[in-house]
Amino acid sequence: MLKFLARQTMTQLELRKRIVLQRRLLHRARKAEHEKANFERVVRQASDFIGIADGRGEVIFLNDAARALVGLPADASPPKVVTDYVIEADRAAFLEEVKPAVKSGESCERELTLRNVATGEEVPALFTMFPVRDGEGDLIGYGVVTKDITAQKEEDERKAQIMAEAAHRIKNTLAIVQAIVAQTLRGARSLEESRDAIMKRVGALAAAQDILTGAQGSAADIMSVVAGALAPHDSGNGRVSWEGPDHPLESPQAIGLSLALHELATNAAKYGALSGDAGRVDIKWHVDPDGSFRLDWTERDGPVVNTPSATGFGSRLIQRMIGPYFQGSTTLEFPPEGARFRLTGKISRRS
């Protein structure tokens, strides 16, 4: 009887131990399941592309951001093969660089271009793939974290364009300065005269560059170019006037027109309408809907004008260098009543 009671007691104790153990295991399982659910929730709601592949490399999970990036609806089964997400031109890079590195147990990060399966749009991305191991260190799959770098690529391209434009403008500016110096020295009668002329012409070039800088470097409006070029010669008494529609000019056109107006104003101040007390200068321009452009410089009420016996750099600049910027031509005449300049050509139509 005692032996029977002892066996019964031992059986009940063993049963209680098993019950306690089962409860602990159940608690751990529930906790693990809760943690797994939280982890999946975080992964699914993450803003970056997150994917999981099994040990064979077949895709078994994509989070919401990944599906949005590659154009997969929430209820659609994801393509199994990783290369299906990559554009054809980048598949060799994945197979030859990323896949071998990950299979050897290393993570690999590389820029790849993904394909939106719904639209066909190409999406530049920073693609990171790494092996996933269990608690014992055995490989059980692969993880992928990918970041859309479209905005970064666009910013890099914008910076490259700015640098290219800056280099182009510097090169053009240096070429213009070189021409100004060479031509001025060739026609100058003294070192002092050439120095003064070079300083004024380079100053006019600098003023044109300032106008372009204020217009973000790509274009400047006609009104700003005219006002900037004539500011040193406009005393505000109405002797210099300009009239015409505001319209953007391309960078070379703005520089060319500014230099031409500087030369015309300088000549007017030395020999023409602005050299006395009563002369006037009128500048008028017109832009047609098709982009045809005409600008007239007219001097009047000044001293009698004589046609120059020699052609200096300023006149050559006005007559030969400016027209090509506008795909057009220029004329410079010297009737007795005052110098006249006309520029005809094309400018870009307003967008």
What is the pLDDT, as a whole number, of residue 288?
92
Output the pTM of the full model: 0.46
Domain end call among 148, 163, 187? 148
What is the pLDDT, as a whole number, of residue 215?
46
Strand partners, 190: none
What is the pLDDT, as a whole number, of residue 44?
58
Q: Is residue 75 included in any domain, yes or no?
A: yes
Q: Name which of 259, 234, 277 is nearest 315 in CA terms.
A: 259
CA distance 293 to 226: 15
The CATH number given to whatever domain includes residue 121 is 3.30.450.20
Domain end call among 132, 148, 164? 148
Q: With a cut of 50, list the residues of the chain below it in pLDDT.
A: 32, 35-36, 38-39, 42, 215-218, 351
What is the pLDDT, as a whole number, of residue 192?
77
Q: Is residue 132 included in any domain, yes or no?
A: yes
Residue 322 structural domain? 153-346
Pair (68, 163) in one structural domain:
no
Burial of residue 251 (CB within 10 Å: 0-12, 13-18, 19+) is: buried
What is the pLDDT, as a whole number, of residue 62?
86
* Helices 222-230, 251-270: crossing angle, 10 deg rounding: 30
Pair (78, 94) in one structural domain:
yes
What is the pLDDT, as a whole number, of residue 211?
59
* Helices 191-214, 251-270: crossing angle, 10 deg rounding: 140
Domain end call among 99, 119, 148? 148
Q: How many domains does the chain have?
A: 2
